[in-house]
Structure 1
């Protein structure tokens, strides 16, 4: 069964930096890892002038670009609702753990990545699904464990000990 752990926090808090450090660390423990990253509504992975872009502009609901090294599926909502995390998870091949970046409102176990210098409040007091806060320094009064953002080994140990991965 695939385990699921989320990473939430305000823009600029270091979520992507932490996730990109965690992926190889978890792989080193023998786990297979996939990720789902929530992006801004106007992101695009396709390029104007490319055949795949022309297919989408012409109205294709889905376009797969494939090579001997990888494939990418682009799905156009075309007015439909944004897919839920569950719908996106169903698109992934089986792995040991899926790391979810963003989706801070979804009811999944999450580690909040927090930096006081971003100038935003902690998400933790309002999110019962946050199981720990990763920050350079321990925020005062948090009721969940603090993980030193710079101690990758301790974060991996916490994830393993808590059966999150």
Structure 2
């Protein structure tokens, strides 16, 4: 049985710096010896991992429900159909992730850090569940909630790392 992984969300509207922050956090946590899995929500597109003309794309186009590919450096499994965030988190945990960082899925209930580029984005702090912190591109304070400057990655890392340690 796989241990329950620590799941933490980085949420916010498009172009608020979610991916930039995630890449920095991934680097730091992996450097600290924590195996990080990432779940990215792509709500606006139908992403395509396969490249037209390549074998895996041809297998998928032929109707295969699952296509796996493996090399000396990495492996991938492509599955037809959409899986729930919980199922994807379970699969990442089964693969060995100790921490799962989630980009997007604003409506999920995991603890989350909300990124805000504009004043209107502050509405997310009350609209979303389980907000444990915020990062802002502008001067902002919220009673009872840690709010970081968008470039204060050290403090955001510390917030998430402390929650990870408490989860263990």
User: TM above 0.5, one fold?
Assistant: yes
* CA–CA distance in structure 2, aligned partners of residues 14 and 75 of structure 1: 29
Between Structure 1 and Structure 2, how many residues are aligned? 160
**What is the RMSD computed on CA atoms of the aligned residues?**
1.9
Name the counterpart of 1:139.
140
With over 3 angstroms needed to count, the CA separation of the structure-2 counterparts of 1:133 and 1:83, relative to structure 1, is: same
CA contact (8 A) 1:135 1:148 kept: yes
Extract unaligned runs of 5+ from structure 2: none
Name the counterpart of 2:129.
128
* CA–CA distance in structure 2, aligned partners of residues 138 and 158 of structure 1: 19
With over 3 angstroms needed to count, the CA separation of the structure-2 counterparts of 1:101 and 1:86, relative to structure 1, is: same
Extract unaligned runs of 5+ from structure 1: none
Cα offset for 1:99? 0.5
1:102-142 CA-to-partner distances (Å, cap 9, x unmatched) read 1111111111111117x655311111211111113343546
CA contact (8 A) 1:114 1:122 kept: no
CA contact (8 A) 2:108 2:129 kept: no
TM-score (normalizing by structure 2): 0.86
CA contact (8 A) 1:138 1:146 kept: no
Name the counterpart of 2:90.
90
TM-score (normalizing by structure 1): 0.87
With over 3 angstroms needed to count, the CA separation of the structure-2 counterparts of 1:97 and 1:123, relative to structure 1, is: same
Summarize the alignment of residues 49-64 of structure 1 with structure 2, pairs less than 5 Å apart: 49-64=53-68
